[in-house]
A and B are shown apart, each in its own frame.
Chain A
Amino acid sequence: MAVAVEYYLLLSAAVFCTGVFGVLTRENALMFLISVELMLNSANINLVAFSHFYGNATGQVFSLFVMALAAAEVAVGLGIVLVLYRNFDEVDVRNATTMRW
């Protein structure tokens, strides 16, 4: 029995909102990164769901791209987090405010 596509979309939306919530409220850079991952993966859910719905593999291929991108992003992001830690001895995003006007 196939699950109706709406449920996938609801799941995706829920995961996305969780990610947004995380980005907006967390102060820890690691939590930040995880939240961003959540948002990316919610997009993946959508891609796969629609791909399945339309019987077209393109969406699944794209989700693979997104995963690769997410991996790269995590690598860069963790690098930034490490540098943050080295400079401020903690990973609070509110500390790094020198990149402003």
Chain B
Amino acid sequence: MVGAFDFTPAIPLLPFAAFLVAMLVGHFAPRLLPKGGAIPGILATAGSLLLSIWTFLTVSGGSYHAQDIYTWVVGQNTFSLHFGILVDPLSAMMLVIVSLVAVLVHVFSLGYMNDEGETGLPRYYAGLGLFTFSMLAFVVADNLLMAFMFFELVGLCSYLLIGFHFREPGPPSAAKKAFLVTRFGDYFFLIGVVGILATFGTARFVAVGDGVHSFPHLAEQALAAAGGEGTMPEHVAHFLDVIGMNAETWFAILGLLVLGGVVGKSAQFPLHTWLPDAMEGPTPVSALIHAATMVAAGVYLVARMYGFYALLPTVLAIIALVGGFTALFAASMGVVKDELKQVLAYSTISQYGYMMLGLGTGGYIAATFHLMTHAFFKALLFLGAGSVIIAMHHNEDMWDMGGLREKMPVTYYTFLSGSLALAGIVPFSGFWSKDEILYEALIYGAGDSPILLAAYAMGLLAVFFTGFYTFRMVFLTFHGEPRSDTARDPHGVRWNVKLPLVVLGILAATVGLVNMTPVAELTGLHIEYLHQWLVIPEASDFAALGYDNYHHLLEQFAGYHAADIGPLAPGAVSLALALGGAGLAWVLYNVDSPTEHTEKLGGVKTVLYNNYYQDEYQVWLAQGVTLPLARAADTFDQGIVDGVVNGVSSVSLFAGSRVKRIQDGLVTHYAALLTLGLVVLLVAFGLLEGWF
């Protein structure tokens, strides 16, 4: 019988076909390409969406799927490398999110790109298609190597799309920075992948079937053996012997190395600097890549291999601290930004910080939940921002806006829905997921892992900032009096902009209802659907990917124990903080002609405005350190290394020019030299052979 899983490979391949069509037809016969490639893209992503939903429904029926698709390298006397697909609750959920957002972004692009008369549309839609392909393939990857490969392709697409307007100076520079910074993270990730393959001989996330292993499981066995239970897998034992480290240290190093890639892609401190610059790309691209999917790849990866991270308490603590710090750090920078997309960019960094915080504190479900809700509300906010930008004739400065509420009600109300979700106001989706992350951080922190409390505190503080900058943005953009001519007479938007906004607006408001933990706790109803979704029955082959297993690993290896704290009080605290922030914004900015209150911050404002000089030091590292070093190396190379080579030739030439003077043309001298040579030879032989 043909089931959904037979079509799963087509989910990524359809957008790939759209990419090929857009590229080839766009090059050879652009006239034949409807809407510059948008139509093939929409059809392909819609097909992916339908197949994803079918897959999702099949997974809800309790059947999961793992299959090797293609053996990339058949190892002879060594391990093989392959591509495969893995469909479990996590990836099924992510497939739906990515393909849904991709469809909506394609539709929105009709309004943002086609209607605005952009050139190079086939290139744009080819990029979107390739991006969707890479992201979907990344999501279904059944091993870390394949994940890495598509992770990198996602990076390429982001480079191409950020630099879409390549004729201007800004976008190519931003594209370069985005790729380079994430590449720096991927360097560590690649070492991690190579290290995991070398250590375990496999990079599979889950072992289904006979004779295969998965690296999280092997790591678990190795750590258990180090703790005195069972035997260490032979291969792992041998590797540890070669490098002379114990399992715990080495696995922690591996975990941190992979985390490098995550920090780069998910724009966590200190590799977050590329994301705000990446706003140079077209706004739909920002929505697709820098909000809903590519940046999600990092967090998704941690969730994907959570069975490995759950074994490593040190790494978990680092994840939590990095996440908490990033959440606060980015939120504080979002407070002073003047441009709509910049605020959203920093909020993205901050929100991914929350997800990292959730994963680090053992809140696997909470983080996955936030991944989902954030994908919807952030895509919504970016598309809403795109709509505003169309209306404002591509002016992004919020101080030139104001009063757009009456002019564009659809955009306003959907944007408001997204903002409420972002700020974490009940009952919008963001509240439920963010609250759950903080709750998990609190209970495990108050359990046996006090260091998590520091991360929790940072996350909690960030809630206030989030509420503030979100509503500052809303009020400056939509409320008050129009502050420029364009704001008084904005450009209208069509259905292709409004439709995606409405779809996402509804989702942003409601999707949080799938996992209302506080309500469930209060009423005793079993309405934590996401929780149930992510639990895999122990009898299944895929049980290792289920929440119960992670929970068990966290307890056994990471020593995470939940303290007995009810969800209501912490929820109330975070809601109060969010409302406090929003209220402050109300007071300061919901007036007819708001003024820049940031001046009152004094020196702090300068620091925030300059993003804590993070860019400066990274640019300094590149241009102030590396480049002079390279120039010095070049001077050294030309002067010393090549100097030696040229020196040898100069010395030869010089010596030749001197020695050749013996050849003076006088026959008598030649004869004298001959005779002399004969005498010297005779004497030498005589001495050596003992004639004298």
Q: Which residues of A contact B (CB under 8 A)?
A: 20, 23-25, 27, 32, 93-94, 96-101
Contacts of A101 in B (CB 8 A): 660-661, 663
A35 nearest in chain B by CB position: B671
A101 nearest in chain B by CB position: B660
- Top 8 nearest A-B pairs (CB, nearest first) are A100-B665, A97-B665, A101-B660, A23-B671, A93-B667, A101-B663, A100-B663, A99-B665
Contacts of A25 in B (CB 8 A): 668
Contacts of B664 in A (CB 8 A): 97, 100
Most chain A C-beta atoms within 10 Å of own C-beta, residue among B660, B664, B665, B675: B665
B666 near A: Cβ within 8 Å?
yes
Q: How distant is A94 from chain B, measured CB to nearest CB, in Å?
A: 6
Q: How distant is B50 from chain A, measured CB to nearest CB, in Å?
A: 88
Contacts of B655 in A (CB 8 A): none
Q: What is the total of A-B residue contacts with beta carbons within 8 Å? A: 29
Q: How distant is B666 from chain A, measured CB to nearest CB, in Å?
A: 6
- A98 to B661 Cα, complex, angstroms: 13
- Contacting pair A24 B667 (CB below 8 A): no
Which parts of B639-692 form the interface with A (CB within 8 Å)? 660-661, 663-668, 671-672, 675
A32 nearest in chain B by CB position: B667
Evaluate whether A97 and B666 lie within 8 angstroms (CB atoms) in the complex, with A20-B675, A24-B675 already known.
yes
What would be 27 A-B contacts, judged by CB atoms less than 8 Å apart? A20-B671, A20-B675, A23-B668, A23-B671, A24-B668, A24-B671, A24-B672, A24-B675, A25-B668, A27-B668, A32-B667, A93-B666, A93-B667, A93-B668, A94-B666, A94-B668, A96-B665, A96-B667, A97-B664, A97-B665, A97-B666, A98-B665, A99-B665, A100-B663, A100-B664, A100-B665, A101-B663
- A24 to B669 Cα, complex, angstroms: 8
Q: How distant is A45 from chain B, measured CB to nearest CB, in Å?
A: 19
Contacts of A97 in B (CB 8 A): 664-666
Contacts of B667 in A (CB 8 A): 32, 93, 96
- A100 to B666 Cα, complex, angstroms: 9
Contacts of B666 in A (CB 8 A): 93-94, 97
Q: How distant is B83 from chain A, measured CB to nearest CB, in Å?
A: 70
Q: How distant is A9 from chain B, measured CB to nearest CB, in Å?
A: 16
B664 nearest in chain A by CB position: A100
A23 nearest in chain B by CB position: B671
Contacts of A93 in B (CB 8 A): 666-668
- A99 to B664 Cα, complex, angstroms: 8
Most chain A C-beta atoms within 10 Å of own C-beta, residue among B661, B663, B667, B672: B667
